[in-house]
Amino acid sequence: MTTRDRKFDHIKICVSERVESSYTGFEDVFFIHKAVPELDYNEIDLSVNFLGKELKAPILIASMTGGHPETYKINKNLAIAVENAGIGMGVGSQRAGIEDESVVDTFSVVREYAPKAFIYANIGLPQIIEKGVEYAEKAVEMIDADALAIHLNFLQEIVQPEGDRNAVGGFNAIREVSSELKVPVIVKETGAGISREVAFTMREAGAKALDVGGKGGTSWSGVEVYRVENEIKREVAKDFWDWGLPTAFSIVDCHDVLPVIATGGIRNGVDMAKAIALGAKIASSALPFLKPALESHEEVEKKIQYFVEGLKKTLFLTGCSHVYDLHKIHIFVYNLLKEWIDFREFDLFEFSRRRFHDI
């Protein structure tokens, strides 16, 4: 099966089957309601600057697609919507576009319809290890990207029959690309999370941000369960359905190492607020935008509005006039997430009433 057909297979599975894992860790975050917020709701400010670009809200639609003729429409609808909303998005892995010129337009359509928006390019680490800086540059040029996400999906690679299993040389490949590319590099997981240890090495390699892509949303082992034909391999894929570091744990781990994009199971504006309250700069989501993008850009815009409204209302009810005031308010953290914070030897009291230093 070609890369482009495999990617389209994934889309069909994601719209028709149950593919999510359980527990993001946001279940263990509780906002303290401020009965007298002393704010004008209409003056709440969600705008942020991320990697040098202004966003009207700290929201990105996470990488999903491109590479198959059928995906042109999906990326076009996403692009029109993010441009209108003043937010940003990533494209799916551009391997197919680099290997087959006939599908380049399924990626470049994004810049065509989102001339001003923050757009990031996307290549998997196995391709970066094998093909190096030139491959990364091609991906960035293809869509005139503001940043490049190097995605990590080794969980998926080991469960899918045709997966790339060689991760040797990953650190050096990321370091080389980070030092030579003209745009910043984001290291991006795809559903299994990034730990504190890996975050430090990625900072050393020159990454400028981390998309933690934690557990609790789309499970790539789960998606592959529907594709793997061999019975034993399918059973093993099932065993890894819930593998990974929950998104909230991963945000805690990385928040003071590099700017964090929180992805993985973020399903509404309250989840977005929780992600930012735990230390993320940006909240991002993939799966909830897939069905709307198959319909129209208006449907994508409705979904963005749903996220924005939930985020803004959470700010109002917690007395935050700017979205990054979420970094300063007290939050109540309990259960497993509290245990994780203890395990990492962060001071829970400091953590739950953080005064983040700018990183």
Ligand X SMILES: Cc1cc2nc3c(=O)[nH]c(=O)nc-3n(C[C@H](O)[C@H](O)[C@H](O)COP(=O)(O)O)c2cc1C
Binding site for ligand X (CB under 6 A): 10-11, 14, 62-65, 92-93, 122, 149, 151, 188, 190-191, 213, 217-218, 263-266, 285-287, 290
- The percent helix, strand, coil of the chain (3-state, each to 5) is 50, 15, 35
Exposed, middle or buried, 341 (CB in 10 Å: 0-12/13-18/19+)? buried
- In whole angstroms, the minimum distance from the beta carbon of 357 to ligand X comes to 27
CB atoms within 10 A of CB 299: 15
Please state whether 349 falls in left (phi above 0), alpha (psi between -120 and 50) or beta: alpha
- In whole angstroms, the minimum distance from the beta carbon of 35 to ligand X comes to 32
Select 75 or 93, whichever has its Cβ closest to ligand X: 93
Select 217 or 279, whichever has its Cβ closest to ligand X: 217
Name every residue whose Cβ is closer than 8 Å to that of residue 224 and which is 6 or more positions away in sequence.
156, 159, 160, 237
Contact 278, 250 (CB under 8 A): no
Q: Which residue is nearest to ligand X (CB)?
A: 217
Select 263 or 352, whichever has its Cβ closest to ligand X: 263
Select 178 or 190, whichever has its Cβ closest to ligand X: 190
Select 257 or 266, whichever has its Cβ closest to ligand X: 266
- In whole angstroms, the minimum distance from the beta carbon of 55 to ligand X comes to 17
Handedness of CA 139, 140, 144, 148 (dihedral sign): positive
- In whole angstroms, the minimum distance from the beta carbon of 219 to ligand X comes to 8
| 313 vs 105: CA distance, rounded Å | 38
Select 192 or 317, whichever has its Cβ closest to ligand X: 192
Select 310 or 319, whichever has its Cβ closest to ligand X: 310
Select 257 or 287, whichever has its Cβ closest to ligand X: 287
- In whole angstroms, the minimum distance from the beta carbon of 107 to ligand X comes to 11
- In whole angstroms, the minimum distance from the beta carbon of 21 to ligand X comes to 9
Residue with tokens 């744990």: 249
- In whole angstroms, the minimum distance from the beta carbon of 358 to ligand X comes to 25
> Residues for the chain: how many in total?
359
Q: What are phi and psi of 71, to 5 degrees?
A: -90, -5
Exposed, middle or buried, 200 (CB in 10 Å: 0-12/13-18/19+)? middle
- In whole angstroms, the minimum distance from the beta carbon of 93 to ligand X comes to 4
| 94 vs 201: CA distance, rounded Å | 25
Q: Which residues pair with 333 in a beta bridge?
A: 29
Q: Which residues pair with 124 in a beta bridge?
A: 151
| 154 vs 273: CA distance, rounded Å | 29
